[in-house]
Structure 1
């Protein structure tokens, strides 16, 4: 079982050591599983502690249970990271080829039977998907946890806004740990001078691109590398775009509704041309660092390490253990419990529009405007104004951008009322019966900018009778990058977008004309949720989502951080196109 990591295999070794202390590690893991802050202002901390005991660490590090079960675990530092020589390629072509060559090497070792699996989370999950798309002969199964596929839209510049709080921390972590030397080799007199020279030649991989994006006032001032990253047809962007339709290897994807890569995870499952069973999807109500927090107890899925072992036993050893009959789609409904389904979007789901109205709903006291969400467009024409602000520092988006760390604070991760003080809210009447939300969502806005650009963010929320406003999903888009790539987008039966994919490319940029209407289609990643009786559906509209994302400086300068206007016009209505199942009563 091969794990390709950019975080230095020393980190994997340390995590393995911590989980392998006889008589101590298992009680400590059980202690973390039993910690429960539910009902307190820090209940989000429970998700982090339970993830430690939920098997996630055994997917990140060496899984001793796999080793005891007859597997050989191979942990490899990605080129240019950890103890490996070379320059860090960040998912590009040479790095992808390295993985294929590593698989071939492992398959031909005397301790190998030639059947290779891959595991790992986050970066290592993406690496698995890239390898599986090439279908090397020896690769027989993968188990990616929180993987991505469209890296530009997932984390680099979702909707055109650069991942401002995640990217610098992540780049600093990888670039920092790659300077930790192989002390064991050094003590043996085998210090790798080539490794040191490579580090000196490229000490801050990709950090220069990040800094250049915010140090350049005009697009023409952007460096060639930055412009390449922001151009859809460049070799760099091509390498960052996955194609799960090429995968033929049995694949078990683990994701989360608030994960950094939630945009890709359900799409990976849907796109793979594999029969259910040979492909599996498990989505929890989790963040990037809390996968597996809801597991290992009656009524919950097995721990991630248990599922991983069963997956490899089936596809590498040929053991008929029934894992191919699990799921195949196992989802934690937001607002409900765990369900299984034959497809990601529930059977019986029907897409419909819910229109934004300026009429007060009476459900939100402090905000830029309290509007309604109604089944038909209202006859009055109104313009509502929303301005950039800092309330989003305490938001679900900010929690997502910190990989889930900010979710510790309930008032930020689990309740949007602080963020909503700076937003436009549109809230439906309460539902009469349990109503499921299933599949991707699209928010269609008619907007007016006071400048050549603007940054729009939307969230879809479940509002409880006590006023708690919980984010089901979110999306964002720069007004000037609104042009949609129809070849990669999907529509519902009513003809409306349900997954509008923008080009996110400077050569497709269309600056807005100040004072003139600009239509935006903002995609919200696929989800599964249930509105309980008495709960309401809400759409929030904001002018930005700092610190999760910030426009590159040239686009930020064009926006002037000026107020933005949402036009509610029956001739050009603003609405959400959402998949519902049940009888909400509206």
Structure 2
């Protein structure tokens, strides 16, 4: 693949150069088959998504992700319900669940037994049930033709909360449980508290004993619900009733993925959840669910109210963080809530897991890390690293990612929707009904769909088909495969906390939990802000250096995580960097792909969890984020900064170019530690690009001619 140097329009200033596990068994027939596939080093083409004439890759459609020849079948049952079934916990707190079960034509319970699909929700089963009445039931069908976009969005939210009846009508018992301190359940809540796992053990045993059930359980859910199911599976003993998982947008490390982007506090995310999910719903749901039992309603309402004022409650935690308290830093408190710490147990218990990720999701880095961790752990490798390029893979652990926002997985921009219900049904049919339908029979368990509907598949993450290479920052705004030979050379960037100060950009759209996309979907259009990078240049007010490749001469795949290694000199005892990656079309149209942030004092690396490319360059940095790990920024010294740029799966069309922009702030999406602003304000950084300090991008990139052998 030819990649020459092309000007990208940076502002340059030359300066003088400155100095600067254990392994367990893994030998199964599927693994051997996967090794054969791996040796081919080719991007797989699914049989149900054939390449179209003139296209290098197959295009996604409603059957993408489904096994050949398999169909979900008709709705064979009606739906009955037991409301607010009480489940006492060991300490006397009562959780409540809705149990929806198949019925026959007369409305009586259908003869079983049936397997169970279960969702544990923090957002209230009764508010989701209310939405069901506005979408699937009640006025929904009547308004489907008049307001199709509105009803479709209501259905998506209902499904995300676990309340669609798709599975019940096809022979499953559905259980939706309000976790402690939420919905109609008693007790106090704090985010992913360890007590939830103790509760879940009891809930799982209760659900397995439901009448007319097989006692086998599949867990599923979106976002917090997906996090909860993975953490639940991670505390179960071998042989538990949990036989399969289907988490959507669950991430890997809540602190790193959601709250603190390496020193940049994610204000957009907090803004998206504080008013409704965290504050309003816990007080509304007891009224919706228990209004016929006023004494219980009042007790639960008070329990939830108390949650807001606990030390580990959301509002006290935010105030603590803004005042430089312990909640601002990674610690055992946050690590006890990290999915990363339970993937070994899930793999050891052989619980098949199908992950859904999104490239417009704020958890776009964490979910693929969980996929790699499960594959590594199942193969007996350390779960912390990337999958080796020659690694075998198992169809028991899969991931599908696409151009989806957080709340609407499977709903695609610019192409056909993916039938997420059907994929989930096929997965549960395989593991809960022993239907050998082929969904697990794949040598390429990583499935990626880009914004234009191109389907990419691989056996590994990062994708073995797109090996990492270095692209160096060069003079004139060039992004080059050749290392700079000049003794001097740098570009100046001045700190500004605002960086154009707009909420209409890809970074805000993503981190605002996809709310913009949700709202624009109501009128049948996509979020117009999602295309724009967060750090534009507005000369002469704001100049952020950009670096651009030559135009690609063939379809070129970007497949996975990126790392930006910057050698920079600060003139103050602080620094901050925001790196964006975008696709530049021949007509100048810009499409934002991904971004990453780093506050200079957060630059220490946790080597056990940092991903390195074969040449040793940092492709997936992991910064500890603890108070003890912070490093001082020394003014005037060349300092190495490794910035985690979240992954992207994208096909550059011929004539398009890859560009990065280096900025310093990302307000109002992120803010930095308030106590650091006095040192940051007025600071400037020289980004070095010379022989002694050559800044570069580690990027998984390959042309189609290199991939298809």
- TM-score bin (small chain): 0.7 to 0.9
Comparing 471-480 and 401-410, the one that deviates more? 401-410
Matched, 1:175 2:279: yes
Deviation at residue 505 of structure 1 after TM alignment: 1.0
Residue in structure 1 matching 2:268, options 156, 165, 168: 165
Q: Following the alignment from structure 2 to structure 1, what is the Cα–Cα distance between the partners of residues 135 and 305?
A: 34
Deviation at residue 320 of structure 1 after TM alignment: 2.2
Residues 173-216 of structure 1 deviation map (CA, whole Å, 9 limit, x = unaligned): 222211123355343444344424423433252212212333x3
Comparing 340-349 and 469-478, the one that deviates more? 340-349
Matched, 1:206 2:345: no
Residue in structure 2 matching 1:529, options 637, 650, 661: 650
Structure 1 residues 392 and 373 mapped into 2: Cα distance closer, same or farther (>3 Å)?
farther
Structure-2 residue corresponding to 1:550: 671
Structure-2 residue corresponding to 1:45: none
Q: Following the alignment from structure 1 to structure 2, what is the Cα–Cα distance between the partners of residues 178 and 28?
A: 30
Comparing 74-83 and 237-246, the one that deviates more? 237-246
Matched, 1:400 2:400: no
Write out aligned runs for 1:349-498 (5 A): 349-359=466-476, 371-378=477-484, 379=486, 380-388=488-496, 389-391=498-500, 393=502, 394-406=504-516, 412-416=529-533, 419-421=536-538, 422=542, 423-498=544-619
Structure-1 residue corresponding to 2:433: 317
Comparing 406-415 and 62-71, the one that deviates more? 406-415
Structure-1 residue corresponding to 2:449: 332
Q: Following the alignment from structure 1 to structure 2, what is the Cα–Cα distance between the partners of residues 569 and 301?
A: 47
Deviation at residue 229 of structure 1 after TM alignment: 5.2
TM-score, scaled to structure 1: 0.86
Write out aligned runs for 1:227-266 (5 A): 227-228=326-327, 230-232=329-331, 234-243=332-341, 244-247=343-346, 248-266=350-368
Deviation at residue 504 of structure 1 after TM alignment: 0.8
Structure 1 residues 185 and 531 mapped into 2: Cα distance closer, same or farther (>3 Å)?
closer
Residue in structure 1 matching 2:300, options 179, 185, 195: 195
**Helix, strand or coil for the counterpart of 2:205?**
helix
Q: Following the alignment from structure 2 to structure 1, what is the Cα–Cα distance between the partners of residues 465 and 533?
A: 30
Deviation at residue 465 of structure 1 after TM alignment: 0.8
Deviation at residue 52 of structure 1 after TM alignment: 6.0
Residues 515-548 of structure 1 deviation map (CA, whole Å, 9 limit, x = unaligned): 3222100112233212111111111111011122
Comparing 304-313 and 327-336, the one that deviates more? 327-336
The answer to whether the Cα contact below 8 Å between 1:416 and 1:468 also exists between their aligned partners in 2 is no
Structure 1 residues 542 and 16 mapped into 2: Cα distance closer, same or farther (>3 Å)?
same
Deviation at residue 118 of structure 1 after TM alignment: 1.1
**Helix, strand or coil for the counterpart of 1:64?**
coil
Matched, 1:502 2:623: yes
Structure-1 residue corresponding to 2:407: 289
Deviation at residue 561 of structure 1 after TM alignment: 6.0
Matched, 1:151 2:269: no
Residue in structure 1 matching 2:215, options 114, 119, 129: 114
Structure-2 residue corresponding to 1:516: 637
Structure 1 residues 31 and 406 mapped into 2: Cα distance closer, same or farther (>3 Å)?
closer
The answer to whether the Cα contact below 8 Å between 1:229 and 1:237 also exists between their aligned partners in 2 is no
Q: Following the alignment from structure 2 to structure 1, what is the Cα–Cα distance between the partners of residues 336 and 677?
A: 26
Structure 1 residues 50 and 438 mapped into 2: Cα distance closer, same or farther (>3 Å)?
farther
Matched, 1:540 2:649: no
The answer to whether the Cα contact below 8 Å between 2:127 and 2:288 also exists between their aligned partners in 1 is no
Residue in structure 2 matching 1:138, options 234, 238, 241: 241
Residues 427-477 of structure 1 deviation map (CA, whole Å, 9 limit, x = unaligned): 111111111111211100112223322221111221111112222221111
The answer to whether the Cα contact below 8 Å between 1:288 and 1:404 also exists between their aligned partners in 2 is yes
**Helix, strand or coil for the counterpart of 2:166?**
helix
Q: Following the alignment from structure 1 to structure 2, what is the Cα–Cα distance between the partners of residues 3 and 26?
A: 28
The answer to whether the Cα contact below 8 Å between 2:124 and 2:282 also exists between their aligned partners in 1 is yes
**Helix, strand or coil for the counterpart of 1:178?**
helix
The answer to whether the Cα contact below 8 Å between 1:92 and 1:240 also exists between their aligned partners in 2 is no
Q: Following the alignment from structure 1 to structure 2, what is the Cα–Cα distance between the partners of residues 269 and 129?
A: 12
Deviation at residue 128 of structure 1 after TM alignment: 1.2
Structure-2 residue corresponding to 1:271: 373
Greater relative contact order: 1 or 2 (C-alpha under 8 angstroms, separation 6 or more)?
2
**Helix, strand or coil for the counterpart of 1:487?**
coil
Q: Following the alignment from structure 2 to structure 1, what is the Cα–Cα distance between the partners of residues 700 and 292?
A: 61
Structure-2 residue corresponding to 1:73: 174
**Helix, strand or coil for the counterpart of 1:257?**
strand
TM-score, scaled to structure 2: 0.72
Q: Following the alignment from structure 1 to structure 2, what is the Cα–Cα distance between the partners of residues 51 and 561?
A: 45
Deviation at residue 300 of structure 1 after TM alignment: 5.4
The answer to whether the Cα contact below 8 Å between 1:228 and 1:237 also exists between their aligned partners in 2 is no
Which blocks of at least 5 consecutive residues in structure 1 are unaligned? 36-47, 360-370
The answer to whether the Cα contact below 8 Å between 1:335 and 1:531 also exists between their aligned partners in 2 is no
**Helix, strand or coil for the counterpart of 2:471?**
strand
The answer to whether the Cα contact below 8 Å between 1:63 and 1:73 also exists between their aligned partners in 2 is no
